[in-house]
Amino acid sequence: MSRRPGFVLLEDGARFDGDLCAADPPAVGEVVFNTAMSGYQEAVTDPSYAGQLITFTYPHVGNYGVSAQATESDRVHARAAIMRAAVNREDAPGAEGGWLDWLAGCGIPAITGVDTRALVRHIREQGAMRGGVFPAELSEEEARALVEAEPRMDGRDLAREVTPGEPIVLGPTGAAALDYVVDTVRELVGERPVFGICLGHQLLCRAVGLETFKLRFGHRGANHPVKDLQTGRIEITSQNHGFAVVGPDGETTIAGDEPVRWQTDFGTAELTHLNLYDRTVEGLTLRDVPGATVQYHPEAGPGPHDSLYLFDRFLDAIAAAA
C-alpha cells in the first residue's frame, strides 16, 4: 500500500508527523491511547471508541492480520489508528487479510511512523483532547479549524449513535449524558439483581445516587491491574473508559485498600475493586439490594480472562434472589 506524508494535530497545537497508510484523511475526534499488546482489530470495532482516534502504544500493530472472528461489532467505530510501526501482513495463521488493507477497505484513515511515545506522554500530561489525522498538504490552520469544529466528548450521547436498538447501551459517552437510561436502571434496582459493566457500572452508580467524573486521559488497554478487595487478588483487566465514579467523600481516588462505603438511595454500597494505576473506583456491591458493578470488562475480548468469576457471582446473586 502506498504511503504519503501526514500528521497528527492536537487542539493545543502539538504536532506529530508520520506517513498515511490506509484510507484518505482527514479524521477528527478525541485522541486517546490504548496500551494493549494485541487486539487491535477488536479495539477499532469496539463501539466504545466511537468518535475517537486510537493511539496504539505497542510499537508493532498489524502483525497477525485481521479476521472476521476478531470483530467486536458490525463495523469500525474508531475514526483513525495512530501507530509507531504499522504492519500489513496477511500470512499469519488465521489471517483473512492485511490490517492496513482492511482499514482502507473500511474507509478508516491511519498513520504510521509517529512518535507515539511522545504523543502518549503529551496526552498523559495534558489530558485527552480533540485532534485529527491530516495529509501533509493541508495547512495547520485548516487542520486546526476542523479540530475546533469537533464537539467535545463531555455530555455527548454517542450511545444512541452506536446502539443497534433499545435497550442495549454502548459507547464512550459518560453516564451523566444518559439520564433517560439511568431512570430505567433505577426502576430495576431492588426489583431484580443488576450487574453493571463499564458504562453499565456508571449507570448503576448514578441510578443509586452516586456521581461520575471525566478522567484526565482514561483507562484503555488489556493490561490494567485491579485489586479485588474481597480476596486480595490482583487481576489483569481489559479496560476502555474515560469516566469514573466519585468516592464516598467526594474524592476522585481512594487512598487505602479498605472496602470503603457509600450511603446511597438504596442503602449501603461497598467498594470491591480498586484500580492500582491511579486508585480510582473499579467496582462496588450494593449491600441492601442485589446489585454489583465493575468498571472494566470481565468478558474481555481478546482477553485477559482473570475476572470471569464475576459472572459466577452474578449468577449466584440471581439464584439467591429467585
Which residue in 77, 219, 241, 297 is the catalytic one? 297
Which residue in 90, 150, 161, 299 is the catalytic one? 299
- Is omega for the bond preceding 304 within 30 degrees of 0, making it cis? yes
Retrieve residue 84's grid coordinates.
509507531
Which residue in 42, 77, 122, 198 is the catalytic one? 198
Strand partners, 293: 196, 284
Task: Confirm whether 187 is a catalytic residue.
Answer: no
Nearest to 50 by CA among 68, 24, 69, 72: 72
CA 72 to CA 78: how far, in whole Å?
12
Task: Confirm whether 198 is a catalytic residue.
Answer: yes
CA 135 to CA 25: how far, in whole Å?
6
Helix 179-188 vs helix 199-207: angle between axes, to the nearest 10 degrees?
70
Contact between 43 and 77 (Cβ < 8 Å): no
For residue 262, how many other CB atoms are within 10 A of its CB? 22
Task: Confirm whether 258 is a catalytic residue.
Answer: no
Contact between 51 and 74 (Cβ < 8 Å): no
CA 234 to CA 156: how far, in whole Å?
34
Query: CB under 8 Å to 142, separation ≥6 — which residues?
Result: none
Q: CA 121, 100, 120 angle in degrees (round to 5)?
A: 5
Terminal alpha carbon distance of the chain: 58
Q: Where are the alpha helices (DSSP H) in the chain?
A: 40-44, 99-105, 116-126, 140-149, 159-162, 179-188, 199-207, 309-321
In the chain, helix, strand, coil percent, each to 5?
25, 35, 45
Residues with catalytic roles: 198, 297, 299
